[in-house]
Structure 1
């Protein structure tokens, strides 16, 4: 039996592999692969695995793109940081959706479903995308932030960019003020209008008004500078360059 791991967080992948081995001691575990590009390349060159564990948010985009480009009937167990209510809604479409950090009991339930063959042979990607993608009416118009003992709202039009640093998400305003948010950068991305904000890389989610300069960089990548940002090494991967240019050209 071959099990494929697609996960861009090494600690999460190591934990998952450890848990999997308890249920499939004789299985050959392949991976982990940390990007859409690597996963597609492997799947095109190798026989289909018997089971796939797959993160939803990868460094170069949503993992659904993998299964759009490589047609498989392999059962998939998704792992995700999305909230539990969304996951319950998804459970009608796949073996299971495990919330990070993965609970061993949740994994055991998913494995039991796989072993008992009480699964669908294909994944309805359109349904999953609709459930994961924010509707226009749900986009936030402002963020509540704290500054010491003070609580205030920051309108979207005053936000320059969001960024993650040491597992903390920050909101940066156009006038240079910085606030801590309780949500992760992934969760924040799902709350903002994608026509106005773009996920540059794993660290930055920028508004269009914050883009100060765009430069060609090695390996077909782009280098971006942001207003009120001292980080001069903000790179956009080759895989995301096309989407970024489309976003600029709306």
Structure 2
């Protein structure tokens, strides 16, 4: 398979190439391109690759600008640190959406998806294809793990192991079901956008909680709800009356 990599970070592009060739030794990486302008030039003057790995934020702009300038007819696997572009990626031949940092298994699954859906691409209508990819992306574009740093070590924390996330002084901290705590350098708003809204609920300005961590819910003064988790929190978790219906619906839709 002839593959094109569009990635503005040189080390990331080399690492991706090595991983691709490790998993797909019969494949060939045609080129590693760092910019929107370079990608447009390459795709305008060379035969189409069979697959493109594409970062979204490039050195000179957003990769979606490439699609405005040239027609891309092969599937694209988007690789990015941002989850908010998923729906736009679907419209631009996106067959998968890998959130950085992704693992070897994530890449292996992406290749399996390319091969598994090859026949579907040939047989399905455009609307059918968009519907299929939309369902897949909705489930898989959300964050599944976090790379954290503590005690001079990098660790991977799975989102399934996170009981809740809260604002600890000025920045968010992840708290696991085992009571372990790790700081992250992303805002709570951003974390809420990249986590599955079926799994996590934004309780208030300070807390995001995992459905699996909810122990019980009680009525509280002023038509509020008092949420108790299986893991202790530093303060009472209260939901204002304006969000109680939304929260109860979230609990019920399982």
**TM-score, normalised on structure 1?**
0.46
Which has the bigger relative contact order, CA under 8 A and spacing at least 6?
A: 1
